[in-house]
Amino acid sequence: MPQNIALRLKKNGVKVLGTDPENIDMAEDRHKFSSVLDKIGVDQPEWTEVTSVKAAKAFAKRVGYVTLCVYLTRSRSQSYTSDTLFSFAHPMSSLAPQ
C-alpha cells in the first residue's frame, strides 16, 4: 500500500495493519528522515531537492560526482558526469512542479 494512502487512511480512522503509517511516512519523506538522522547524529550524504536540470547540475558540480538522482516517480539513477546527469534528469524535468 503506498505510504501516502496508508497515512490518509489512518488519519480517517481506518485501522492499518503492519507498520504504522506515520513510521512509513517518516522513513519515506526525505526531509523527515534527514531530520531524524540529524537528531541521532548519523552522518548522511549531502542532498537537495531540485526542480530543474540547471539546479541539478549546480548541485552536482558543488558536491561532485557520483551523484544519485531520485525522481518524483521514486526511480533512481547514478550520474558520473554532467552529460549523464542531463540525460537522466531531462525526461523527468517535465514531471517537476513549475
Does residue 66 sit within a domain?
yes
Does residue 48 sit within a domain?
no
Does residue 46 sit within a domain?
no
Residue ranges with strand state E in the chain: 67-70, 76-79
Instruction: Tell me how far apart the alpha carbons of residues 9 and 15 are, in angstroms, rounded to a whole number.
Output: 8
- Domain containing residue 27: 3-40
68 pLDDT above the threshold of 80: no
Does residue 47 sit within a domain?
no
Does 32 lie in the same domain as 63? no
Does 57 lie in the same domain as 35? no
Domain count of the fold of the chain: 2
Phi and psi at residue 59, to the nearest 5°: -65, -45
Q: If pLDDT is split at 50, 70 and 90, which confidence band does 56 have?
A: confident
Does residue 45 sit within a domain?
no
Does residue 32 sit within a domain?
yes
Instruction: Tell me how far apart the alpha carbons of residues 93 and 86 are, in angstroms, rounded to a whole number.
Output: 10
Q: How many CB atoms lie within 10 A of CB 60?
A: 22
- Look-up of cell digits 537537495: 48
* Higher-scoring residue by pLDDT: 6, 94: 6
pTM check: above 0.75: no
Cβ proximity of 51 and 97 under 8 Å: yes
93 pLDDT above the threshold of 80: no
Torsion of the alpha carbons at 27, 30, 36 and 38, rounded to the nearest 10: 150
